[in-house]
Structure 1
Amino acid sequence: MTPRTQGYVFVLITMCIWGSFTILSRLNAAWHISAWDIAALRFTIAFLILMPILLVRRETHFLWKKEPVILALIGGVAYCLTVYSAFYYVPAAHAAIFLNGCIPLCTAVAGFILFKQPFDKHIWMSLVIMLLALIGMSVLMYEQTHVAFGLGDALFFLAAIWWGTFTVLLKQWKLSAWHAMSGVAIWSSIIYLPIYLLFLPKHLHDATFTHLAIQGIFHGVFVVIIATLSYIAAIERLGAFKAGSIVTLAPFIAAVVAVPLLNEPLSGAVVMGLLGMAVGALQPWRWLQHQDALSTQLEQQKQQRN
């Protein structure tokens, strides 16, 4: 396969995993697996796989720096506990709106607050579109249920703040993908598992072994390791903008799939929120500009050859 075709294959793999994350995280509630338990499974399995690899490669020196510890606290422990808890309160479509839809915005705000990174015109356009979508959605929801937003929505938005901050710090500190992935997984295990074992409630006995195995392998192997590596491979072959734009569609597709698959409702208010947040997060006008720039470049190259 050509590098371009390989890039699309890696994009497809990433989309399948990221989309499945929404569905399977929502299934935790139906399978009686608590947020505390799924986080413990995720961190334990990732640790058991990655730590031996680092030891064999004699590549543990980077773990003793402060950066992996801070990233693990924010993008590992805090993010996972928040997002897994949110799925217990609201349908999967709300994750696409308040988590995936808000992550680009929260990333931009975190960059401005922490490192004075200015907003560009694309961020301002996204902000206006997202605010209008959320206002329209809240008005419709209040008319229907007299409640605009719930606890799950707030938790998803908090998770978007965690992930946005994590993204900005990761970019600022310039850790490699391998070091970032390994450091977050290993330090999350070291920090969280003793607290889980000593102080937090455990309900593993309420779930079947099959369900625990499915969730543990998916979240500990596919989400932490495979999706990270496939996403990086896609960026290397297609570029950050194209790969990121396509992959961002996954959670929104999963929200639609969850309607028949999980028998979840999809009201007019939620549809409005999905459409508005999808447009704000994907920024389709940048895609059109990107395509126009590519067409112009190809035309110039053709003229030079002639």
Structure 2
Amino acid sequence: MSSRMQGYLFVVITMCIWGSFTILSRLNAQWHISAWDIVALRFTIGFCILMPILIFRRETAFLWKKEPFILGLLGGVAYCLTAYSAFHYVPAAHAAIFLNGCIPLCTAVAGFFLFKQPFDKHIWLSLVIMLAAVIGMSVLMYEQTHVAFSFGDGLFFLAAIWWGTFTVLLKQWKLSAWQAMSGVAIWSALIYLPLYVCFLPKHWHDATVMHFMIQGVFHGIFVVIVATLTYIAAIERLGAFKAGSIVTLAPFIAALLAVPLLNEPLSGAVVVGLVGMAIGALQPWRWIFRKDALETQLEQQKLNPSVSKDES
């Protein structure tokens, strides 16, 4: 396979895992698996797989710096607790709107407040579209149920804030993909598991062993390790913009699949939110501009064949 085809293959794998994350996380509520338990299961499995590898490779020195600890606290413990908890209150479509749809916006805002990174014109346009979508959705929901936003929506938005901050810090600190993945997984376990064992409620008797095994393997291995590696491999072969734009579609597709798979309703208000947040997150106009720029470049080469491709 060519490098380009490999990139698309890795994108498909990542989309399948990220889309399944929405469906299976919502199934936790139906299978009576609490957020406390699934987070503990995820961190335990990730720790048991990655820590022996780090010890074998003698690469544990970076763990004792402040950066992996902070990233584990934000992108591991805080994000997982709020995101998994939210799935117990609202349908999967709300995750696509208030979590995945808001992550690009929260990332831009975090970059501005933490490191004074300015908004470009694409961010401002996305902000306007997203605000219009949220306002339109909230008005329609209030007319139907007299409730504009729910507690679960607030948890999803808080999770987007954690992940946006995590993304900005990860980019600023320039940790390698392996260090970021293993550092977050290991520190998340070291921070959360002692608190879980000593203080937090446990509901292991409420769900079947098979359900715990399915969730543990998926969230502890596929989400933590496989999806991270395939997403990085896709970026290396296709570029961050193309890979990121395609993969962002996964949660929105999962929200639509949740209607027949989980028998979840899809109201007009939710459709307005999904469409608006998808447009704001994907920024489709950037594809148009990139296509126009490429066509202009090709026209210049035809008019002046002596100019090399690199020079044009």
Aligned to 2:310: none
**Distance in 2 between residues matched to 1:49 and 1:297, nearest whole Å:** 48
SS in 1 for 2:147: coil
Alignment pair present for 1:240 and 2:252: no
TM-score, scaled to structure 1 = 0.98
Aligned to 1:138: 138
**Distance in 2 between residues matched to 1:235 and 1:43, nearest whole Å:** 26
Aligned to 1:125: 125
SS in 2 for 1:75: helix
**Distance in 1 between residues matched to 2:292 and 2:234, nearest whole Å:** 22
SS in 1 for 2:113: helix
SS in 2 for 1:144: helix
Deviations 1:136-167 (A, max 9, x none): 10010000000000000000000000000000
The AA in structure 1 aligned to 2:205 is H
**Distance in 2 between residues matched to 1:275 and 1:164, nearest whole Å:** 21
Alignment pair present for 1:304 and 2:305: yes
Matches within 5 A, 1:11-30: 11-30=11-30
Matches within 5 A, 1:219-258: 219-258=219-258
**Distance in 2 between residues matched to 1:66 and 1:301, nearest whole Å:** 51
| Alpha-carbon distance, 1:193 to partner | 0.3
Cα distance change, pair 299–237 in 1 and its aligned pair in 2 (3 A): farther
Aligned to 1:83: 83
Aligned to 1:188: 188
**Distance in 1 between residues matched to 2:173 and 2:253, nearest whole Å:** 32
Deviates more, 1:171-180 or 1:293-302: 293-302
Cα distance change, pair 301–140 in 1 and its aligned pair in 2 (3 A): same
Deviates more, 1:168-177 or 1:287-296: 287-296
| Alpha-carbon distance, 1:291 to partner | 2.1
SS in 1 for 2:22: helix
Aligned to 1:170: 170
| Alpha-carbon distance, 1:216 to partner | 0.4
**Distance in 2 between residues matched to 1:162 and 1:304, nearest whole Å:** 51
Q: What runs of 5+ residues in structure 1 fail to find an aligned partner?
A: none
| Alpha-carbon distance, 1:299 to partner | 4.5
SS in 1 for 2:290: helix
| Alpha-carbon distance, 1:292 to partner | 2.1
**Distance in 1 between residues matched to 2:244 and 2:301, nearest whole Å:** 27
SS in 2 for 1:304: coil
| Alpha-carbon distance, 1:300 to partner | 4.3
| Alpha-carbon distance, 1:204 to partner | 1.2
**Distance in 2 between residues matched to 1:301 and 1:86, nearest whole Å:** 53
| Alpha-carbon distance, 1:294 to partner | 2.8
How many aligned residue pairs are there? 306
Deviations 1:273-306 (A, max 9, x none): 0000000000000111122223333444565379
Deviations 1:20-54 (A, max 9, x none): 00000000000010000000000000001001111
The AA in structure 2 aligned to 1:304 is P
Matches within 5 A, 1:31-42: 31-42=31-42
SS in 1 for 2:305: helix
The AA in structure 2 aligned to 1:35 is A
Aligned to 1:201: 201
The AA in structure 2 aligned to 1:174 is K
**Distance in 1 between residues matched to 2:292 and 2:15, nearest whole Å:** 26
Cα distance change, pair 300–81 in 1 and its aligned pair in 2 (3 A): same
Aligned to 2:63: 63
The AA in structure 1 aligned to 2:54 is L
